[in-house]
Amino acid sequence: MAWASFLQCVVLLLLCVHAAMASSDVPLYKNPEAAVEARVKDLLSRMTLEEKIGQMMQIERSVANASTIQTNFIGSILSGGGSVPKEQASPTDWMDMVDGFQKAALSTRLCIPLMYGIDAVHGHNNVYGATIFPHNVGLGCTRDPDLVRRIGEATALEVRGTGIQYVFAPCIAVCRNPSWGRCYESYSEDPNLVRNMTEIIVGLQGKTTKPGSPFLAGQYNVAATAKHFVGDGGTNHGADERNTLSSYKSLVNIHMVGYFDAIAKGVSTIMVSYSSWNGQKMHSNRFLISHVLKKQLGFKGFVISDWQGIDKITIPAGINYTSSVELGVNAGIDMIMIPFDYPSFHADMLALVKSGHISMRRINDAVGRILRVKFTIGLFEHPLADRSLAKMVGAQDHRDLAREAVRKSLVLLKNERNGNAPFVPLSKRATKILVAGSHADDIGRQCGGWTTTWQGQSGGITPGTSVLEAIKSTIDTSTELVYEQLPDSNFAKGKGFDYAIVVVGEDPYAEFFGDDADLTLPNMGTQTIKNVCTLVKCVVVLVSGRPLVVEPYLPLMNGLVAAWLPGTEGKGIADVLFGDYPFEGKSSRTWFRRASQLPMNVNDQQYDPLFPYGFGLTTAAVVGDAASSRSSTLLFFFTLVLCFI
């Protein structure tokens, strides 16, 4: 018995030794139970300079393939605006593409997974069939941080439903001049409202358990990006990518406020702005990136450049590229969105490190930050797509959420009264109504820029419900509806319309192409207002990414609704127009009289707006017309009975 026990002990000891030796063969960085910082340190110690430089590169999917990834140790790939696997690609098409890239990365020496990034600025906007939420300018009007948190959660699920783990959102710019073509990406001119809306980060990433630490709760969330650091919304004349002139105190108190909360909520990455601060390009601003952002604010994630942002350090862009790489990386940018000419970047980085112009300490800081995010979000343990999430793309409960967001974002700017009755809400049981305007039946115009393509486009670009379709499904079946996209001056004459709904606005645009110093309503919109509203009582629904000059046409309207850029769920507009829900939105921007007044923001000394910041008329939700009629009938008979008692 004693010998048997001894032999058992020897066997157990040998098994323990074998297990210990086997476990020692597994690198520490591959142990999910190890501390993140220990994993980062271990992996860094195993990497060559070439592998580290590869982690700092983010290239566009159109130039990516297995050979490129494996040869250059690429750390990240992105889809630019409109860059898709194929036209109207399905969630499975996206997953197949992303997993194909990922498998190439996992076959490299150290098996470091790559991060796939995409703009998801109002839903998963690059993807056909995804839910498109209102742009941020509209969400700011809701004053509802919990709503944007839920939008973040839904967006994360749809992004994960295509195999992607990383989004370039939210934009937390404080737009101070609506002439800027990206103004609709800003929640407000008020920095405090912007900081409240950073709650979307919690929805995208999951709730951080340790303030200031990047955190991703499971496989149903994504790494987020706060952008664009810093001052992008304050450029002179609202010109895209230009110069923000301000004191440091003003920069902090207006444009940096949202970053305090974003970092506290654990945002994983921060994107640098194309713009300059007092003449210095942000992509080369070492003081603001390395000293303020990383040291003073304690940001632990990684800093990413904007699209070809390194190139744009110089004017013209790309001249003396090697110097731009040196300036950008030494300023503190960790991941470089190249996106095409990765061979030049790789060669320049090798030369700059070997010559001592970029230190290994800076390289290790950059790569350590990138790896920290990859470890923290669980990318090493779950690098491939969860195929069961494909059904999340365009899911009905997400569309219902978007419809709620539309309802809450609408701002009622004018509502005439006829005696005691306001013009809005409209009657569902009118005899005959006219719906007119370029934007009444156009999903593309309804969604705006950054929808399926970079600049956006008109037409049926993705599944959704137009305003016209929403109206048709809301009004009584006995009501005659006439739709005329561009009626002439005689169209509405003598037709017996009870009222008209005129839906007009801006054509889609995004950065640079959207810059507009005049901010006038396109001519076909003003002409439609004149042709209809001079003959028929009308409510104008304005679809735009910012306030526009409307004062000259305001007397013609009985009602005016700012619908901003509502996205795919047009039923949210009909819900409120016809009184199923109340108007409750409050403008996130000052509505100017004339463009010559700009910039004009709340609390300015010279402040003479058409509608002030925070303005918004309210209505009470009413029971539908049919129900009201039944209630009135019941009340009449009840009163009649009482008279005979």
Active site residues: 306, 511
For the ranges 22-31, 131-140, 552-561, which has the lowest average pLDDT?
Answer: 22-31
The topology under which CATH files domain 396-630 is Rossmann fold (3.40.50)
pLDDT of residue 39: 98
At 321, is the secondary structure helix, strand, or coil?
Answer: helix
Do 146 and 199 form a contact (C-beta atoms < 8 A)? yes
Tell me what the mean pLDDT of segment 352-374 comes to.
Answer: 98
**pLDDT band (50, 70, 90) for residue 633:** very low
pLDDT tens column, 383-428:
999 999 999 999 999 999 999 999 999 999 999 998 889 999 999 9
List the beta bridge partners of residue 418. 421
Tell me what the mean pLDDT of segment 362-368 comes to.
Answer: 98
pLDDT of residue 418: 84
pLDDT of residue 212: 62
d(CA 505, CA 487): 16
pLDDT tens column, 582-631:
999 999 999 999 999 999 999 999 999 999 999 999 998 875 453 333 33
Number of residues assigned to the chain: 645
Do 529 and 537 form a contact (C-beta atoms < 8 A)? no
pLDDT tens column, 177-191:
999 999 999 999 999
Do 246 and 234 form a contact (C-beta atoms < 8 A)? yes
d(CA 234, CA 182): 11
Tell me what the mean pLDDT of segment 237-249 comes to.
Answer: 97
d(CA 455, CA 462): 15
List the beta bridge partners of residue 77. 59, 116
Tell me what the mean pLDDT of segment 63-67 comes to.
Answer: 98
- The residue among 314, 169, 195, 313 whose CA lies nearest residue 259 is 195
pLDDT of residue 24: 55
List the beta bridge partners of residue 504. 542
User: Is residue 143 over pLDDT 90?
Assistant: yes
Residue 569 makes CB contacts below 8 A (sequence gap 6+) with 131, 132, 399, 402, 403, 405, 406, 464, 465
Which one is predicted more confidently, 2 or 439?
439
Neighbours of 50 (CB within 10 A): 13
pLDDT of residue 213: 63
pLDDT of residue 496: 97
d(CA 314, CA 328): 11
Tell me what the mean pLDDT of segment 60-82 comes to.
Answer: 98
**pLDDT band (50, 70, 90) for residue 294:** very high
User: Is residue 536 over pLDDT 80?
Assistant: yes
d(CA 260, CA 297): 7
pLDDT tens column, 185-241:
999 999 999 999 999 999 999 987 666 666 665 689 999 999 999 999 999 999 999
pTM, entire model: 0.93
User: Is residue 341 over pLDDT 60?
Assistant: yes
What residue ranges do the domains of the chain occupy? 2-388, 396-630
Assigned architecture for domain 2-388: Alpha-Beta Barrel (3.20)
d(CA 126, CA 60): 14
